Amino acid sequence: MSGPVGASRGISFGLSFLGVAVKSYDLVYIVRPDLDADALKAVTERMSQRIIDQGGTIEAVEVWGKKRMTFTVKKYREGIFVHTRFALPPNKVEEIRRAAALTEDVLRATITNAVGKLPEAKPAEPSSATAVTAPAPAATPAAPLAPVVPSTPEPQSGPAEV
């Protein structure tokens, strides 16, 4: 039996682009936490452009948000995590790894083979003019708990003191 395992059953192991197999990869990188929204967008676009320049295609980009890291990386205790799913010929992956390492705003990056479904795109938030929202239920204040005090004095048992 020659060829990759499963080839005889018609299972495909990736797309072919100009005779080179294209595989999907997951790139997760951590961006400096002190960047504003515009700078973060610029970093994600720069990383996406580097993938496209190498002949890849971007399948999904998802910003996971700011998270606290277990240990300090380049003097930062927090970072903004970004996930990118992309397809690229395997011989070009090392160039993406190098580009991520050379980007100053990227603290850490890792590339793995894509496993599982493509991350679902979150629906865009509707504009305020077309948004129909139900009124929030009014919060009812909880009744304060009153201390339990007996209303009548209890008779004492035992000898009365004089």
> By residue range, what is the domain housing residue 36?
26-113
Q: Is residue 78 part of a domain?
A: yes
Q: Is residue 59 part of a domain?
A: yes
Non-local CB neighbours of 5 within 8 Å, separated by 6+ positions: none
Q: What is the pLDDT of residues 33-82, one digit of tens each?
A: 999 999 999 999 999 999 999 999 999 999 999 999 999 999 999 999 99
Q: Is residue 7 part of a domain?
A: no
Q: What is the pTM of this model?
A: 0.62
DSSP alpha helices (H): ranges in 54-132? Answer: 93-102
Q: Is residue 128 part of a domain?
A: no
Check which CATH number belongs to the domain holding 101 and give it: 3.30.70.60
How many CA within 13 A on the CB side of residue 72?
3
Q: Is residue 37 part of a domain?
A: yes
Q: Is residue 82 part of a domain?
A: yes
**From CA 43, how far away is CA 134, in angstroms rounded?**
38
Q: What is the pLDDT of residues 24-40, one digit of tens each?
A: 999 999 999 999 999 99
Total of domains in the chain: 1
How large is the angle between the packed helices 93-102 and 37-53, nearest 10 degrees?
150
Q: Is residue 123 part of a domain?
A: no
